[in-house]
């Protein structure tokens, strides 16, 4: 078993990556080595989790989170920390300390719990927990040595909700993504073509309007 290496981490910032082809955030990470020995390289891994219990929510946000946590009276039991993503990077050699960028690829797929949660937030911050692990490569007089980053290395960071909105607005302006079964997609495409519509958004909007017209109001049901 490889020995552990004394190293600590601090999340300094999380920002949108403006020139990425796909939606990406970048976390700025400060690293401090507690050893005087130079580090040749680090294969860094991080598990990023969301801690929903660490912030308050407006009524509008609460309504959007009902699908995840249920009614507010149950939140004490249902608001558990959950995984958002795994990310990794290679770090070049340094001695003493360094600041590095950690890529954080994100998605707007509403089948992903993190996307559902973030879509419901309007302002404030996203309470994140970074759990760090990885391998440290050391160059000695007789060759390279390998040590592991201890499993208890972590740091909390409150990311502004605006960071999430900014990266999604840049890649999916005024839009989002839903995953449909092949049968549903084929049926929606056929409906769109049959009615001469240009896009799926038009088809869904018309179907929702028809559904609203056919649903009796509360007053009608009472009469």
- For the stretch 158-208, pLDDT in tens is 999 999 999 988 887 766 666 777 888 788 888 888 888 777 778 888 888
- First and final CA of the chain: distance in angstroms? 76
> Is the predicted pLDDT of residue 21 greater than 90, yes or no?
no
Per-residue tokens: 219:
């007053």
Note the pLDDT of residue 124.
97
Note the pLDDT of residue 223.
41
Helix, strand, or coil here: 34?
coil
CA 92 to chain centre: 26
CA-CA distance, 136 to 39, in Å (whole number)?
7
- Residue 24 · residue 163 · CB < 8 Å: no
Q: What pTM was computed for the model?
A: 0.80
> Is the predicted pLDDT of residue 14 greater than 70, yes or no?
yes
């Amino acid at each position: 078993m490889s020995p552990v290496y004394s190293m600590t981490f601090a999340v300094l910032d999380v920002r949108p990556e403006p020139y990425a082809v796909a939606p990406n955030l970048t976390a700025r990470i400060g690293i401090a080595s507690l050893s005087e020995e130079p580090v040749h390289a680090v294969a860094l891994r991080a598990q990023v989790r969301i801690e929903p219990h660490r912030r308050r929510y407006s009524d509008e946000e609460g309504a959007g989170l009902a699908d995840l946590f249920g009614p507010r009276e149950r939140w004490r039991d249902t608001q558990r920390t959950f995984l958002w993503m795994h990310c990794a990077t290679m770090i070049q050699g340094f001695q003493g300390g360094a600041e590095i960028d950690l890529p954080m690829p994100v998605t707007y797929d509403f089948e992903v719990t993190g996307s559902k949660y973030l879509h419901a937030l309007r302002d404030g911050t996203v309470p994140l927990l970074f759990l760090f692990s990885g391998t440290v490569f050391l160059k000695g007089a007789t060759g390279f040595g390998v040590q592991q980053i201890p499993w208890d290395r972590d740091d909390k960071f409150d990311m502004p909700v605006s960071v999430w909105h900014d990266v999604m607005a840049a890649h999916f302006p005024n839009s989002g993504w839903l995953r449909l079964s092949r049968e549903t997609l084929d049926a929606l495409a056929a409906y769109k073509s049959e009615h001469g519509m240009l896009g799926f958004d038009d088809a869904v909007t018309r179907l929702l309007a028809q559904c609203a017209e056919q649903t009796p109001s509360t007053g009608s049901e009472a009469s």
